[in-house]
């Protein structure tokens, strides 16, 4: 089953530019340490703080990417450049990051400059569905929690396939639907999609098939749903702690909807989360 909306990217850009009715992006960044993705916890006794748990997830994805010295890597949906900075700090590679949010480009550039990495980092405002790069111009790519925002995932995979050289690695973290989707589960998934600008979500089987159709051979899939669950609880608690600020600058109904949807994520088995590793044929 695939849930897709026909909306464009406007709501996603507005969300990350911090100009939407819930000015959450900036708050998330300060609460979450710059990574705009979920954290990874080993088990329920693991009480690692979110800024460390999110770096852990970045490191897991870096492992899937198997970066080699000198490679030119594409960061699809780079956020404010925190994962790219981690990659650049730990590996002698070059990174080009793209994001649909103009505001994030400036933040990512500033982060790279502050870390002394600007000579190996480039960030651009670009739509992943229409990448401004020549064919076969990258040695690898990753998409950390960005694919679900894309109005047309097949189009993004076609573009990714086009800009990657043969044998390049692709690493993706994304939500997947775990079926059967009961009525209650479907309602939560719908609420999550509406609240967080999720435009494409599918079962894992459909994902793998779609990758295959775009010249990617999937080499590994790791279901880490249980390891990321804690994010929903911590993030909802964190948002609640600044609720008054969020409401003062935004819309109370939407703020509460976002907090509730975030909390529900942790208890909805139908919402899975995977790391997919693939190689471009
Ligand atoms: C949840 S954030 C993840 C950011 C970053 N990968 C991280 O893990 O910190 C999603 C990112 O995808 C980007 N994005 C969404 N749709 C996009 C599109 N069509 N083209 C490029 N970037 C997009 C957003 O601007 C945002 O940077």
pLDDT tens profile 39-95 = 999 999 999 988 899 999 999 999 999 999 999 999 999 999 999 999 999 999 999
Q: Is the pLDDT of residue 153 over 50?
A: yes
Question: Is the model more confident about 126 or about 22?
Answer: 126
Binned at pLDDT 50, 70 and 90, residue 24 comes out as low
Compute the distance from residue 224 Cα to the ligand 1 centre, in Å: 20
Residue nearest to atom 10 of ligand 1 (CA): 146
CATH class of 2-280: alpha beta
Q: What is the pTM of this model?
A: 0.91
Residue 89: which residues within 8 A CB-CB, separation 6 or more?
115, 117
Q: C-alpha 115: how far from its chain's center?
A: 22
| Structural contact between residues 104 and 75, judged by C-beta atoms closer than 8 angstroms | no
Judged by phi (left if over 0) then psi (alpha if -120 to 50, else beta), residue 200 lies in beta
Question: Is the model more confident about 236 or about 14?
Answer: 236
Query: Burial of 143 by CB count in 10 Å (0-12 exposed, 13-18 middle, 19+ buried)?
Result: buried
Compute the distance from residue 199 Cα to the ligand 1 centre, in Å: 12
Q: Is the pLDDT of residue 210 over 60?
A: yes
The whole-number pLDDT of residue 170 equals: 98
At 256, which helix (H) or strand (E)? helix 252-265
Compute the distance between CA of residue 264 and CA of residue 26 in angstroms, rounded to an integer: 22
Domain boundaries, the chain: 2-280
pLDDT tens by residue, 171-180: 999 999 987 7
3-state SS of 13-34 is HHHHHCCCCCCHHHHHHHHHCC
- What six digits make up the tokens of 92? 């002698």
Compute the distance between CA of residue 269 and CA of residue 154 in angstroms, rounded to an integer: 26
User: What's the half-sphere exposure (Cβ side, CA atoms, 13 Å) at 41?
Assistant: 18
Alpha helix positions (H), 7-129: 10-17, 24-32, 50-65, 82-90, 102-114
3-state DSSP assignment of residue 116 = coil
- What six digits make up the tokens of 233? 């609880």
Q: Is the pLDDT of residue 253 over 90?
A: no
Q: What is the mean pLDDT of the chain?
A: 88
- Torsion over CA: 231, 232, 238, 242 (sign): positive
Q: How many CB atoms lie within 10 A of CB 116?
A: 10
Compute the distance from residue 16 Cα to the ligand 1 centre, in Å: 8
Strand partners, 85: none
Q: Is the pLDDT of residue 157 over 50?
A: yes
3-state DSSP assignment of residue 134 = coil
The ligand 1 atom nearest the CA atom of 13: 25
The whole-number pLDDT of residue 19 equals: 57
Binned at pLDDT 50, 70 and 90, residue 6 comes out as very low
Output the ligand 1 site: residues, CB below 6 A: 9, 12, 16, 35-37, 77-79, 82-83, 98-101, 104, 127-129, 144-146, 149-150
Compute the distance between CA of residue 227 and CA of residue 39 in angstroms, rounded to an integer: 8
**Which stretches of the chain are assigned E, i.e. beta strand?**
2-4, 72-76, 94-99, 121-125, 138-144, 164-177, 200-202, 216-223, 271-280
- What six digits make up the tokens of 182? 């009961």
Binned at pLDDT 50, 70 and 90, residue 198 comes out as confident
Strand partners, 121: 95
């Amino acid at each position: 089953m695939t849930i897709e909306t026909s909306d464009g990217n406007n709501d996603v850009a507005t969300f990350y530019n911090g100009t939407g009715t819930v000015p959450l992006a900036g708050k998330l960044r300060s609460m979450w340490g710059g990574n705009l993705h979920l954290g990874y916890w080993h088990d329920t006794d693991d009480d690692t703080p979110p800024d460390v748990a999110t770096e852990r997830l970045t490191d897991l994805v870096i492992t899937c990417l198997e970066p080699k010295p000198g490679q030119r890597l594409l960061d699809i949906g780079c956020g404010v450049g925190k994962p790219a900075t981690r990659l650049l700090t730990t590996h002698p590679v070059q990174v080009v990051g793209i994001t649909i949010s103009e505001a994030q480009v400036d933040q990512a550039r500033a982060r790279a400059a502050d870390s002394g990495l600007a000579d190996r980092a480039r960030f651009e405002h670009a739509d992943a569905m229409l990448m401004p790069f020549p064919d076969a111009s990258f040695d690898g790519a990753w998409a950390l929690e960005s694919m679900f925002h894309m109005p047309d995932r097949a189009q993004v995979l076609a573009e990714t396939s086009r800009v990657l050289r043969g044998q390049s690695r692709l690493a993706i973290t994304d939500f997947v639907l775990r079926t059967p989707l009961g009525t209650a589960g479907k309602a939560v998934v719908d609420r999550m999609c509406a609240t967080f600008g999720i435009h494409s979500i599918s079962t894992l089987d459909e994902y793998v098939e779609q990758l295959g159709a775009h010249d990617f051979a999937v080499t590994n899939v790791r279901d880490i749903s249980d390891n990321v669950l804690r994010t929903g609880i911590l993030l909802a608690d964190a948002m609640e702690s600044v609720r008054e600020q969020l409401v003062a600058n935004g819309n109370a109904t939407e703020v509460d909807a976002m907090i509730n949807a975030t909390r529900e994520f942790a208890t909805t088995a139908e919402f899975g989360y995977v790391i997919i590793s693939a190689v471009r044929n």
